[in-house]
Amino acid sequence: MPDLTGKRVAIITGDHVEEPELVGPRDRLREAGAEVLVLSRDGAPVQAVEGDVEPTRRIEVDGAYEDLDADAIDALVVPGGTVNADRLRTDERAQTLARKVAGSGKPLAVICHGPWLLVSSGLVDGFRLTSWPSLQDDIRNAGGHWVDAEVVVDRNLVTSRKPDDVPAFVEALARLLAAG
């Protein structure tokens, strides 16, 4: 993994986030030297789950993404979990953040059900990406090219399918961040 010292990454999330898709990127990026902020809508801790339905633990966050300035970060990460992703996709602030990061050319890394935020934000048209398989129709209907792969990088967009893909997902994001 490249050295990410000096890089600032925000992870936006809510309740019922898939724990390994939040904790894996957070911890691995921090180990590589990045400053990683985990942000919920209101700054309250979030309930993590495993397999969408089994509660695991509450995870402390660093603040509210409502207060996040997209210009102050180097990358944005959106973990999955069906309920978490469904709530993020309808949140105007989350959509605005995703659009700003995508428009700036900064890495936008989204896993599992997280691409719903991209669909609802109008950000998949013309992109090649992956996700949890049940999202493929949504992605195709929004103009994206869905593929079944561990990780897909298309310009500044990094996508993966599931918790097992977290190592490849983080590595691809780290390479993009290190490149600049």
3-state SS track over 1-57: CCCCCCCEEEEEECCCEEHHHHHHHHHHHHHCCCEEEEEECCCCCEEEEECCCEEEE
Please state the domain count of the chain: 1
| Mean pLDDT along residues 39-61 | 97
Give domain status of residue 166, yes or no. Answer: yes
pLDDT band of residue 137 (cuts 50, 70, 90) is: very high
Give domain status of residue 65, yes or no. Answer: yes
- Which residues have a catalytic role annotated? 113
Give domain status of residue 1, yes or no. Answer: no
Q: Which amino acid is at 30?
A: R
Q: What is the DSSP string of 124-148?
A: -TT-EE---GGGHHHHHHTT-EE--
Of 1, 48, 53, give the one whose Cα is nearest residue 21: 48
Whether the predicted pLDDT of 180 surpasses 90: no
**Tens-digit pLDDT profile for residues 26-44:** 999 999 999 999 999 999 9
Give domain status of residue 3, yes or no. Answer: no
Range of the domain at 103: 8-178
Q: Which amino acid is at 58?
A: R
**Tens-digit pLDDT profile for residues 161-176:** 999 999 999 999 999 9
Give domain status of residue 2, yes or no. Answer: no
| Mean pLDDT along residues 92-121 | 98
pLDDT band of residue 109 (cuts 50, 70, 90) is: very high
- CATH code of the domain in which 60 resides: 3.40.50.880
Q: Over pLDDT 90: what percentage of the chain?
A: 98
Give domain status of residue 133, yes or no. Answer: yes
Whether the predicted pLDDT of 111 surpasses 90: yes
Give domain status of residue 77, yes or no. Answer: yes
Give domain status of residue 114, yes or no. Answer: yes
